[in-house]
Amino acid sequence: MNKNKMPFWKHIDELRKHVIHCFCAIIILMIILMNNKNIIFDCIIFAPAKTDFITYRIFYKLANSFLGIHLNSVSFLHKNLEIQNRQIFGQFNIYVWTCFIGGIILSFPYVFYEFWKFIEPALSEKEKKYSIWILIIVTFLFLLGIIFGYFILCPFLIHFGYSFRISHIPKNIFDLSDYISLIMHSVFSMGIIFLFPFFIFFFTKMELISYSFLKKYRKHAFLILLVIASAITPGDILSTIIVLIPLMILYQVSIYISFYTNK
């Protein structure tokens, strides 16, 4: 029987199979991450908390080479961040939750593939031919957002939280859950945000938006993007601009995508 002519409950059953496949992939990758906790936490999660993180070293070299500014330290941070755990099962809960989110991130290409397999029967033959390219582009955009969030956004957020002080009396000793939440929120949210061009392509195909609509309300979109950038960041000007720039580029790319999709 053609999947297009399946009764509603058959579609639900088919969706359930794809969801189970996705969940199994997430759990498998989660277990793999849990068996490599030293690499995941020491080399990846806590790397931005160290003064020798690659982003800080690059900034240091750029500041010296192009701006002529001499920095006394090799990074934004004067010393490694002090991170503490104040809950009995805090480290264990963070360990499980972080590995679970990591499993979602690593399995994202496969999860999207399963989603695409579910909707593929409803696509035309021409649209099916572009399936592999759509999968590649979506994976690329998501990974690009992850990389931006980890290497660009996180260091600036950490630097802002570390350097901002209301007085010299309180010490900045960060809570483990807050630090992990900042890393995960920044990385995962940027991965999703960088999928904006795909969402525009999808909505254009569904005739929910158009090229003329995106172009007409570009100024309004700028204000919305500014609000989104402010919500993701602490609200300081530098971090907001860092997030706003790629958002504006993605919006402009989305306008071109909508234009060629309507052709």
pLDDT digits (tens, 9 = 90+) for 31-84: 999 999 999 999 999 999 998 899 888 887 777 776 555 555 444 677 889 999
In a domain, 118, yes or no: yes
In a domain, 259, yes or no: no
- Locate 59 and state its tokens: 């900034």
In a domain, 11, yes or no: yes
- Locate 234 and state its tokens: 């602490």
More confident residue, 30 or 227: 30
According to the model, what pLDDT value does residue 69 have?
58
Cα separation, 118 vs 105, whole angstroms: 20
Cα separation, 238 vs 178, whole angstroms: 21
Q: Give bridge partners of residue 84 from the DSSP assignment.
A: 175
Straight-line distance from the first to the last Cα atom of the chain, in angstroms, rounded to the nearest whole number:
34
- Locate 195 and state its tokens: 């999928």
Residue 254 pLDDT greater than 70, yes or no: yes
In a domain, 82, yes or no: yes
pLDDT tens digits, one per residue of 7-30: 666 778 888 899 999 999 999 999
- Locate 8 and state its tokens: 């509603």
Cα separation, 95 vs 55, whole angstroms: 25
Cα separation, 114 vs 191, whole angstroms: 18
Q: Which residues contact 72 (CB under 8 A, 6 or more apart)?
A: none
According to the model, what pLDDT value does residue 100 have?
96
Cα separation, 171 vs 82, whole angstroms: 10
Reference 104, options 171, 193, 187; nearest CA is: 187
In a domain, 218, yes or no: no
Q: Which residues contact 78 (CB under 8 A, 6 or more apart)?
A: 51
Cα separation, 119 vs 96, whole angstroms: 32
Reference 145, options 190, 107, 200, 198; nearest CA is: 190
In a domain, 253, yes or no: no
The parent domain of residue 151 ranges over 3-194
Helices 237-262 and 176-193, packing angle to 10 deg: 30
Q: Residue 246: how many CA atoms within 13 Å on its side-chain side? A: 22
Structure confidence at residue 229 as a pLDDT band (50, 70, 90): confident
- As for how many domains the chain has, the answer is 1
In a domain, 256, yes or no: no
In a domain, 228, yes or no: no
pLDDT tens digits, one per residue of 107-138: 999 999 998 888 877 767 766 777 788 888 89
pLDDT tens digits, one per residue of 154-177: 998 898 888 888 888 888 889 999
